[in-house]
Each structure stands twice: as structure tokens, then as C-alpha cells.
Chains A and B, each alone.
Chain A
Amino acid sequence: MSIESAQMTHAGGIAGHIHPEPQGFVRRYVFSIDHKIIGIQYIITAFVFFMLSGLLAETIRTQLLNANGGFVSPETYNEVYSVHGSAMVWLVVIPLLTGGFGNLIFPLQIGARDVAFPWLNMLSFWIFPVAGLMLFSSFLMGAPTAGWTEYPPVSLQGSAGTSMWAAAIFLVGVSSTLTGINFVVTLVKMRAPGMTFTRMPLFCWGQFATAPLLMIATTALAAALAALFMERVFGVPFYDPTKGGSPVLWQHMFWFYSHPAVYIMILPAFGIISEVLPTFARKPIFGYKLIAFSSMAIALAGFMVWAHHMFTSGLAPYLQLPFMILTFAIGIPTGIKIFSWTATLWGGKIHLTSAMLFAIGFIALFTCGGITGIFLAAVPYDLDVHGTYFVVAHFHYVLVGGSLMGVFAGMYYWFPKMSGRLLNETLGKIHFWLFFIGFNGTFLPMHWLGIEGMPRWVATYDPQFEFWNRFASVSSYVMGIGILVFFVNVLWSIRAGKKSGPNPWNGRTLEWMIPSPPHYYNFKNIPTVYGLPYDFSHPLPYTGLEEELTDAPPALAAGAH
């Protein structure tokens, strides 16, 4: 194995040689080193966790049907929303967008045969379900109750599951960090000849902006979690003020990760949207360079705004201002993106496929969440609505209306590349409308609920808020049905869906130039790239692809590293 496997770890790559495909079910589909299989493994696992934490979400809404709760006990309720939030962030959205779509698509788009470190990739993946099971198993020993942010000292009082939570999130963090390293190296070192950075599809730019965040920010979270774990289990005082610790320290460390994490959750979705829009508008993305550049600007600035989550935590007042103004400033690159996407639609020949509907829905909802983000960045207004349902509304608009809509757009768009079959379009549109209407019904009222005085994290609430809470709960069921339609669609289409062929959408990026699903080695010959993919009136800017769709065997170049 030794020399063989040392070479296998460079499957694909610049040199362009091909290793034989591993044989046997376990090597191919379980402990796979193929980025496409790993991507699909991530997506399937994440959607299983999505179903579980979606059920938790409906539990939350069912409890809130009545002002005095009554569906579950307050203790259980606190466990439910804490695991819901943690799982949605760390087990659903981040893995779907990075490990999932990242793995599956961007190596194809840059003309690589795999990621730089396939074995590391396998390790990243396998940590993830283990961590997920650990997180959900915390219900058996009393799950964490202090929300996904787990502020000490109250999280120091939480039951044993809180330590399990810390360990589980630490592990997902390790997985994320490894993925980040893998993606950075792949994007820097393994682009096909001619694929300069400024010819890279925007989805790759999204991943390229995200990967350093995964690498750098996650380590701060890991340190914070390790300290929390040590304090809870071994009594080492980091956060308990009666023993000389500082509870605010946790907040700094946590948000130093978690603000960049919101970009981890949105930049890849920006990338998906930037692929879907030109394909279905049949025109180039508007302002390619500005979109690519603004992703990098957002990622960089994302490291400098964490304390906007802490305006009420006792920061020195003058410290609030730079954080406020920098956060406002992030609105500029974000605005540029929104305007560019909107302008991409102008003058197009628009095909309103399910993927396109989700992409347009993404812009509509994400913009709303972006604007309320500006409200929250303004210190005087944040001092009013921080910790209320206004915040809950805001981050669901960006994370569900934004990231998750992006995921769905990506699912409808790339499902053929994963499976060779199309998702059903009629079911897709039903899914979209149920989801879009249910989503707004659920989260729009939360804005005024928060302003009028409904705090977060409550199992019961003031009766004056009952009407809009019921409205939100019923809408959330509509949203839930929409998601069920999606699952039915996937399960049905995977067996009986229409065969897609290599390029069902007339896409122009490299993944559409090869069969669906692609061969193990992706490309028979590594193509050469001559330009941006988005020029519909020009011939495709690639050479060396002539044999991809023929029966010709791959060019098995010798393993010259």
C-alpha cells in the first residue's frame, strides 16, 4: 500500500495522471476519496440532520402556538431550540455549502481531478456524522439549554449534554478547518492550465473567500470550546467570574468565530446564485470582477466586526463605534452584489426553472435580511432590539431566506450532475411557493414582535403577542410541507426522474462539459482554458474536451509528479 497510496493521495491534479478507481462498495461509497462521492455524502448526511433539526423547529413553533406554551416543558423547550440552532448552523448549512457543494462542484469547475488531499477530505467528512450524532445524543443526558451561543456562566450550569455539545462542535470545527486547508490548496495549486483567478467561475470565488475563514476563524471557536469543556469537566476557571474568570471572554472568542461563520454560510451561497443566474438568464453575470472582489472584501472585513454582537455586553462605549461603522461598511460590497445580480436579469432570456426561482427568491429575502442587519449594527437601535425576536427574524432571513434558498437553488441546478437525473420541475415549483410564502409568514411578523417587546429564548410569552405567534406557527407548517415536497421530489427523481444528459441547462462552466455523473477521474484530458465561461455569444473558451463525451478511454498519463 505504502507507495501506491502515497501516490493515490495526489489523485488528479496538475500533472494530470489518473489513478485506477478503487473497487468494492466500501472503498467507493463509504470510505471514498473521490471528492464527488464525499460531496454527496456530505449533502445526504446534512439533509438527514436538516430533517431532525427541522422537526425541532416545528416543535418550537408548536410550543409557541399558545402564550403559556404547554406542548413541552420549559426545560425541554430550551433544549430543543439550542440543538435546533446548533445543528442548523454546524450540521446543516455549513456542511452543505462547503463540504457538500464545495466538494462536489468546484474541483470540476477548475478542471481538477480531485481536491489536493483526498484522504484528508475523507477524514473531514467522517468526523462530521460522528460529531452530529454526538450533538443529538446530548438529548439523552440533558441537552444544552443556553441557545447556540451557550454564553457562560449559565452554560456552566447546564446539564451534562452541554459538555457533549462543546465536544461535538469542537469536532465539526476540526472537520471544517481541514476542509478549509484542502480547498485553499486545491484552488491555488490545481486549476487547469489557463484557468487564471480572473477566469474562475464565481462559485469557485465563493469557496475561495470562504476557505480561509474556515481555516482561521474556526480555530478561535475551538479554543473557546476547549476552555468551556475544561471548565465544565475539570473545573479549570476560564469564564466563571467568582473564580477569576471572565464571561465576556467567551463572547469575544465565540463571535470572533461566529461572525465570520455567517459569511461561511453565505459566501458559497452567493457563489451558487452567481452560477444559476447567468445560466438561466442566458447572459453573462453582470460585473464579474466586482462580485469576485467584493466576496474577498466581505471575507476580510468579516474578521473585524465581531463585537457588533456585544453592544449590550458591557464593552467600553467608544469601542462600539468602530464596530458599528465597519459593519455598515460591509453593506457596500453586499449592495454591489445585490445590484449586480439584479442587473444580470435585465435584458436576459429568462427561464424560470425551480433553480432560478430559488435564486431570485434568494435575492429578495437576503436583501431584506441584509437591511435589518444594518438596523442591528446601529448601536442605539441595537440597544433596543438586541436579544429580541427582531434578531431572530433578521438571521432567519439571511440564513434560511439566504443560505438555505441558495442550497435549494444549488440542489435543483446540480442534482443532474450528482445523479444523472433531473429533479421534477412541477414539484420544484410547488416546493418553492410553499416555502417562500410559508417562510415570510413565519419570520416577517417576528420583526414587530421583537420591536414590541418579545424576547428570544422564551418558552412562554406575553399574551398580547399570541396572534402573530400563531400566524408564524401556522406559516411554519406550510414551510414544512414545502420541504416535504422537496424530499419526495428527491427520492422520486433519483429513481424515476428524467435522464439529464451531460448538460441539461446549457451551462457553460466546466462541470457541464463532462458526463453526468462524471467519471471517477472527472476529465479524460485536463482542458485548457482561454476565458471566462459566461459569454453566451462566443464559443466555449476551452480546448481539450473533445473526447469527454465519447467512449475513448482516459489518457492515462504516467504518474510524473
Chain B
Amino acid sequence: MVENRAQSAHVGPGFWSVTAVLGLLAIASIVFWYWFPLEQYLPAAIVTARQVDTLFRFMAATGSALYIFVFGYLLYFAIAFRVKPSDPPDAIGVQVHDNHRLEFWWTLIPALFVVLLSVVSVKIWYEIMLEPQNGLVVQAIGHQFNFTFRYPQINGEITDEMHLPIGVPVTLNLTSSDVIHSFWVPAMRLKNDTVPGLVTSIRFTPRLTGRYQIICTQFCGVLHAQMNKQVLVVEDKASFDRWYQGWQVKNAHVSNALPAAGGAAVALTGGSAPAGQTLFAQKCSACHAIGPFNQRIVGPGLKGVLHDPSHPDLVNGDPATPANVAKILQTGYVGSLGAMPNATTNGLSNQDIANLVAYLDSLK
């Protein structure tokens, strides 16, 4: 075959010059992605956002370099090797079936690249996981069609803006009162779904003051597109305290209030819900409605205090468990909503507490 003889000598007209051009373009694209001022378009509001950008640059640079080679060769081969009018009608191409050396390399190189990319990704994933566990706790609760926020360590107040002090690690606990939403702040390069019945959390540390849009990215109903109106405000500690009317002072309440009345844990077995219901009408209904958390008389609504997925924690920051409810009834609690009297003030015996908890537990 004529073609066979022709090809074995060299790899085709212009192959190496095309390769050189593609190589230069690939290098240019790598330089471009490492130079590109991402943060000018999208500020990096938390510490790990910059790591995510690093990962993006790495993938964009290697990906576009690879793409330039594939697309470049594709175009070059399609043009350089097309049939010419002078070719006989039955002209055939070079009859090669494979080339084991080539195949070896183009299996090995992507494999090594996969290993490298895995290492880079796991490393950055690990840095995100390493964010401190014991940060300021904030709850974000998804609703159709907004988020509400609570600061259980400070008090149980519901807010519709999310403020965070700069430089303080945050644990954001997410849940939903209805369907799945997703809490995304593009400036944080981080999102997580709010799943009803499930509390998930993400941890991060704000590094840049500013107002950042919060966007829901999981379809959640007819007004899903409108669920982008809220903001995350990262500010210095003083402004944050002012916004929260001095959260440190209230925080002090928490730590003072809890040990005040002390007392041994109440045995909860043997509580009677009907007896609890009678007691509730006598001693609690002045301040508490049997309704959702934000239906407030003095204290919050208590329907679902133990079974509302959007209410994973009690006002004092403890998880909503029967034992912790019993503890609040025993010790009382003073937060931003007001004062919840302790067992002595309310005149509750341990059996009363057990009955009340059984009653609250029966509300769903």
C-alpha cells in the first residue's frame, strides 16, 4: 500500500508544528486560569472559599489544556486527512488498528491524573471538614419560601437575616419545616440541603465583611425562584453584638441560668399524658400555646417541641429530647423571649414533670 509506506516514515504533514501550537495554547490556558481574578467577580467570604477556588483553578487549567489538545487534533486531523479530489474513489486510510505504546500512555496518564485530582480534592475536602466543631451555633430553617435563622446559644429568637461576626467559626445546622430546600451562598462556595426530619450541618469561618446573597438551589415549590432575597451579613464583632443587642450579655444568662436550680435528673418513665394535659392547662397555658414554635404568648408555642423537624434544639441550645425538656422544666430558663419559671416557682413535683413531658411528647 502506498499509504502505508508514506505514513510509517512520519506522522503526517505539520503534525509537530500543530502539536507545538497546541502546547503553547495549553500553557496559555493554564496561565490564564491561575491568573484569572475570580474574587473580583465573586468575593471569597469564608476561609475555605479560597480553597474551593484553588480546586477550581486546578481543574479548569488541566481541563482546558486537555480540551485544547483533543479539540485541536480533532480539527487538524479532520482538515489535514480529508480526501482530496485527486484521490481515487476507493482510496483508504492508513490501516493501523492500534498502537500499544500509545494506548499504554493514554491510559496511564489519565490514571495518574485521577490520582492527583483525588489527592487535591480530598485535601481540600479535609480542610473543609477540619473547620472547628465548637463554633457559634446558628440554625437555618428552610420554609416555603424563605429561611429563618436562630441563635440557640444566645437565645431562641427567630431572625430572617443571618448575621455573623467575622473570624468566629460557625456551625450552621440546617433543617426544614416543609420540603427540601438548599442553602447556598455563592460567596461562600458552599451549600447544603435543608431536609425535613434531618439536621445537617456545615462549618466555616467568615473572613470578609459584606452582604452576601442567600439562594435556594433546590426546587421547593412555585415561588422557588423568589427564594433568593435574603442576605448573610458578615460584620465585625461590635456591629454583630449591636445587631444582636449584645449577645454576649445574653449568652451569660445561658451559662448562669442552667446550673442555678441544679437537682437530680427526673425519672421520666411512668409519666401520664392525660394528667400532663390537665396540668398544662393549669400551669403553662398562660404563657404557652399548643401551636408552632413561633406562635408566641409569652413563651414559644409547644406543639411539636419534641417532634418538629424544624425545631431540633430547645431555646437553651440543648437538643430537643424529653430529658432536656424535663431539665428546662426543672431549672427554668431565661432567654431573649422572657423568663421560663423553674419547678419551684411553677410548683411542679418530679411526677408532674414526668406527666408534662409525656404530654408534650404526645403532641405531634
Contact = CB atoms under 8 A, between A and B. Distances in A.
Interface of A: 74-75, 78, 145-147, 151-154, 157, 241-242, 246-248, 281-284, 286-290, 312-314, 317, 320-321, 324-325, 328-329, 331-332, 335-336, 338-340, 342-343, 345-352, 360, 363-364, 367-368, 371-372, 374-375, 378-381, 383-384, 386-388, 451-453, 455-462, 506, 534-537
Interface in B108-156: 110-111, 114, 117-118, 121-122, 124-125, 128-129
B125 A380 contact: yes
Given A281-B81, A371-B63, A383 B192 contact: yes
Contact of B228 (A288, A325, A462): A462
B191 A342 contact: no
Interface of B: 1, 3, 7, 11-12, 41-42, 48, 51-52, 55-56, 59-60, 63, 66-67, 70-71, 73-74, 77-78, 81-83, 87, 90-99, 102-103, 106-107, 110-111, 114, 117-118, 121-122, 124-125, 128-129, 178-180, 182, 184, 186, 189-193, 195-198, 200, 213, 215-226, 228, 309, 364
Contacts of A339: 70, 106
B3 to A, nearest CB: 7
A350 B218 contact: no
Contact of B122 (A248, A283, A321): A321
A242 B93 contact: no
Interface centre among A329, A340, A345 (most CB of B within 10 A): A345
A283 B93 contact: yes
Q: Can you list the 7 inter-chain pairs with the closest CB atoms, starting with the nearest?
A: A241-B197, A387-B217, A283-B93, A347-B94, A348-B93, A458-B225, A345-B77
Contacts of B67: 367-368, 371
B96 A459 contact: no
A461 B7 CA distance: 56
B110 to A, nearest CB: 4
Nearest to A536: B92
A191 to B, nearest CB: 21
Given A287-B98, A378-B59, A535-B95, A348 B179 contact: no
Contacts of B91: 282, 349
A499 B334 CA distance: 89
Contacts of A336: 103, 106-107, 110
Given A153-B178, A286-B97, 6 more contacts: A145-B222, A152-B179, A287-B98, A380-B128, A457-B224, A459-B225
B84 to A, nearest CB: 9
A343 B60 CA distance: 24
A494 B198 CA distance: 58
Contacts of A242: 196-197, 309, 364
B225 A328 contact: no
B130 to A, nearest CB: 11
Nearest to B89: A506
B125 A379 contact: yes
A384 B225 contact: no
Contact of B56 (A325, A349, A381): A381
B224 A458 contact: yes
A248 B198 contact: yes
A386 B191 contact: yes
Contacts of A461: 225
Contacts of A375: 56, 59-60, 63
B192 to A, nearest CB: 5
A242 B60 CA distance: 43
A342 B189 contact: no
A281 B48 CA distance: 49
8 contacts: A154-B221, A241-B198, A314-B192, A317-B129, A363-B74, A383-B128, A383-B191, A386-B182
B72 to A, nearest CB: 10
Contact of A154 (B48, B111, B179, B198): B179
B98 A290 contact: yes
B53 to A, nearest CB: 9
A157 B221 CA distance: 8
Nearest to A332: B110
A134 to B, nearest CB: 22
Contact of B124 (A284, A372, A380, A460): A380
Nearest to B98: A287
Nearest to A535: B95
Contacts of B111: 332
A219 to B, nearest CB: 25
A537 B118 contact: no
A378 B121 CA distance: 6
Contacts of A364: 70-71, 74
Nearest to B201: A314
A371 B7 contact: no
Contacts of A286: 96-99
B225 A349 contact: no
A310 B311 CA distance: 24
A372 B67 CA distance: 11
Given A347-B94, A378-B121, A384 B186 contact: yes
A142 to B, nearest CB: 11
Given A345-B78, A379-B125, A386-B191, A288 B98 contact: yes
B190 A384 contact: yes
A6 to B, nearest CB: 45
B93 A387 contact: no
A496 to B, nearest CB: 25
